[in-house]
Amino acid sequence: MLLMLGAMMEGVTPCFILYTDWVEEIFQTAVSTNHNLSLSGGTDKLSFYSSFGYNNNPGIIDNAGYERYSFRSNIEAKPTKWLTLGMKLNGYLSNNEIGSDRIDDVFTYGYASTPGIVLRHPDGRFGGAQAKGEDIQTNNPLAYLYKNEGNKKERNFRAAFNGVITPFKGLSISGSYSYELTDKDNWSKPNLNDLWDFQTESVVRAATDRTYIYNYNRKIERMFMDGVVRYENSFVDNQLDLNVMVGASQEMRRDRSFSGQKYDWIDSSVDVINGATGDALASGSHTEWAMRSYFGRINLGWADRYLLEANLRADASSRFLKGNRWGYFPSFSAGWRIDQEAFMEGTRNWLDALKLRVSYGELGNNYLDSDYMAIASYSQSNYSLGNVLQVGMTQTALANGNLTWESTAVSNVGVDFTVLNGRLSGTTEYFYKKTSDILIDLPAPLVHGNSSIPTQNSAEVQNQGFELTLNWSDKINDFHYNIGTNVTFVDNKVTKFKGDEASISGSTMIKEGYPINVQYVLVADRIIQSQADLDYVQSLIDNAPIGEDGKKVDPFQSYKRPEMGDVLYKDMDGNGIFNDDDRVAMGHGDTPRFFYDINLGCEWKGFDFSMLMSGTGSQKVQYQTMHTTNIPASGYQIGQEIADGRWYEGRTTPAKYPRLLLNDSRNTRNSTLWETDKAFFKIRNIQLGYTLPEKWVKAATLSRVRVFCSLENFFTFTSFAGMDPETTKLTYPTIRQASFGLNVSF
């Protein structure tokens, strides 16, 4: 019995075939358990809110679930009219099953397993090769989930304190401090699982791993504090509104980790380092960064018609050296309430609001792959001196002391409107975004040796587009309903990178004048399936260009001459030779240019219904994973679509895919043949609820009771070849969830 896993997991176009044993053993129906308790209360001078929660989620993949305990407590006190104090405490404790570290292996080795493998015997043993001729190295994806025994604990605690002083009307002085600690504590050791042939009751692959005990601890601290002064008032007979804010903030993040591993355990039940007697390994790291900021804002409004706002931020980052740490980022916006003008008097019966606004703003980004790219880094390097081994240090990465902030400037022009007594409202907006001084790696001369080249502020990208939002809300007697939509179109282009040089990674390219990560692929002309096709190939050889040696060039020297069942690519540069120079840029990069959301809702006599949908426009990508390629290999999966659609001798219908070739990639080069479209339409959430009549709940001394049910991620419509168009690779799938709940208010 066969099952299409893609259809089971996500409701998308089925993508590959596996035996149900694979699905039933590794994937399971997960029923999450959630318990939450909330308490609140207080007086005019003191209020509090506390909640406690417990969540047990077994996950949909075996041995990859978690449980979590959480709490939250908020307290606010007003000891005087001019002073407010507050405290917020929250945190959680989570326990994760160790198989969650092996989820990627499930999909990686799921390709590399034969469909007939018995994943697990009822007595707990794991299966290997079962049929004659099967590769004994065939992987068991379920065994990888149990490759280790252990536990992953994570503790998080955050405390935030704040205070506000209002010495007189219009002026407030506030300050806050927060501290967050995340403590990760893991341990693991190998499970020595043999792989069995249950027909012969023999071990086909013995577990030969060396035993060890591994301990790991990581502590992440984050401290944040700020101070803000605000003043607001009205002048000139309340025609002029003034709002001023100035403030400062700083934050620090520390990350320290330590791990130890010791081999040859004394007993398999021990989980501490001292439970092993062999050689040991240890490693540790400590990184930190800090940032300090000053900021200010002024808002002016005249007669509730003309609005102006100006901002300025100054940020300093420890990731850059002195002299380059500070970045300055201004912004401003202006608005005009056109509907308030006297000449709009005649529109009052249908126009509720109309505002024109323009804005310009700059933002900074100081993220780096490493917190220390502005300074040189070193690592241990052994060398010989006097025939004696010496321990030294070598520079592994060159520093760039000129690194500084990456900046983004955004300009917007928009119109907001509300008409027909508030039933129809919307926003239309044009935006232009330019990101400068993007941090990239430029090409380097060989004189630098093996040291990696420092990142530099050298790239520039522009984005522009428009956004439209519309909402309609109305009622018919007791029936209230609303519908809303948001549509966004955005186009991007690399305006500065490496000159004429391109950066090519797989099927994508970054180059000036093109969208980011534009597809750079061959164009498939045809699959050779007839004598006429073979004659055409021969004509290409007969008309090949003459080389410098006066002889005809072999046009297929790079790609091999295509035979029956092979792909013939197009000669896009027209030189009569078929090679990588025939690749062309296609599409609009690694993101679609068109996005949209739709939301629906209605209420009627206590019943309420809502639905959220979203989708994207076309985005072509290459999709060649082990189940969609056509290179057969021992112990690997071949998708049904590939198998049924391939060319083979004697085929009477046109083939969609080329022939299967063992260990030959001539037909799997990135090309239009392997294109798939990631455009999709998803119904993300559907919820139906019912609120009990007020007279019923009052009899039980309650204020509100609502029951509801919801479906999340249940429906996806797409032609994408994979499981989920929002993830290119086959990985942990988007989870479908059915929820039932009860909300009770006292």
| Pick from 422, 417, 372, 418: nearest CA to 397 | 372
Note the pLDDT of residue 401. Answer: 84
State the Cα–Cα distance between residues 298 and 303, nearest whole angstrom. 17
State the Cα–Cα distance between residues 511 and 507, nearest whole angstrom. 13
Residues 743, 703: contact at Cβ < 8 Å? no
* 3-state class (DSSP) for residue 511: coil
Residues 479, 602: contact at Cβ < 8 Å? yes
Supply the Cα-derived Rg of the chain in whole angstroms. 32
- Cross-strand bridge partners of residue 536: none
456-458-464-469 Cα dihedral, nearest 10 degrees: 10
| Residue at token pair 């299409």 | 4
DSSP 447: G
State the Cα–Cα distance between residues 278 and 211, nearest whole angstrom. 9
The residues, any chain, with a CB within 8 Å of residue 707's CB and separated by 6 or more, are 689, 690, 692, 740, 741, 742, 743
Residues 483, 471: contact at Cβ < 8 Å? yes
Q: Exposed, middle or buried, 168 (CB in 10 Å: 0-12/13-18/19+)?
A: exposed
Check the CA dihedral 257-69-737-64 and report its sign.
positive
CA distances to 5, 125, 195, 545, 730 from 103, rounded to whole Å, are: 16, 20, 20, 52, 11
| Residue at token pair 């609120």 | 691
Note the pLDDT of residue 1. Answer: 22
Note the pLDDT of residue 695. Answer: 84
Note the pLDDT of residue 420. Answer: 93
Note the pLDDT of residue 18. Answer: 34
The residues, any chain, with a CB within 8 Å of residue 345's CB and separated by 6 or more, are none
Note the pLDDT of residue 31. Answer: 72
Q: Is 564 left (phi over 0), alpha (psi -120 to 50) or beta?
A: beta
Residues 482, 503: contact at Cβ < 8 Å? no
Q: Is 302 left (phi over 0), alpha (psi -120 to 50) or beta?
A: beta
- 188 Cα distance to chain centroid: 28
Q: What are phi and psi of 656, to 5 degrees?
A: -90, -30
The residues, any chain, with a CB within 8 Å of residue 532's CB and separated by 6 or more, are none
Other beta carbons within 10 Å of 538: 11
Mean pLDDT in runs of 10 for the chain (746 residues)? 26 31 59 78 88 89 91 95 96 93 80 79 90 78 91 96 96 97 95 91 91 96 97 92 97 96 92 93 94 97 94 95 94 95 89 96 86 79 80 78 90 96 96 86 51 70 96 95 97 89 88 92 96 96 90 92 96 94 92 95 96 95 69 70 90 93 87 93 96 84 88 93 78 80 80
The two beta strands, 2-4 and 17-19, are antiparallel
Note the pLDDT of residue 348. Answer: 86
